[in-house]
Structure 1
Amino acid sequence: MEKITLKCNKNILNLLKQYNIYTKNLHRKS
């Protein structure tokens, strides 16, 4: 169980990172 949640947490963190980069890029363009 714990291993699965750790993996999920990592995935969520990665998604958040990508989202942050994406929004930053959006702001730069405009």
Structure 2
Amino acid sequence: MHRLAGDGDEDEIEDRIQAMVEADYNPEQL
């Protein structure tokens, strides 16, 4: 579903950001 490398990178970055945000909210899960 990656039409452009930029879009794919943005999707991956968003996923990583969401994961980091969740980790910040729940540091015990780390």
Query: Over aligned residues, Cα RMSD in angstroms?
Result: 1.6
Greater per-residue helix proportion: 1
Kindly report which structure 2 residues correspond to 1:11-30, keeping only aligned pairs within 5 A, or say none. 11-26=12-27
| Code of the aligned partner of 2:5 | I
Larger radius of gyration: 1
Higher relative contact order (CA 8 A, sep 6+): 2
- Specify every segment of 5 or more residues in structure 1 that has no aligned partner in the other structure, as ranges: none
Number of residue equivalences = 26
- Specify every segment of 5 or more residues in structure 2 that has no aligned partner in the other structure, as ranges: none
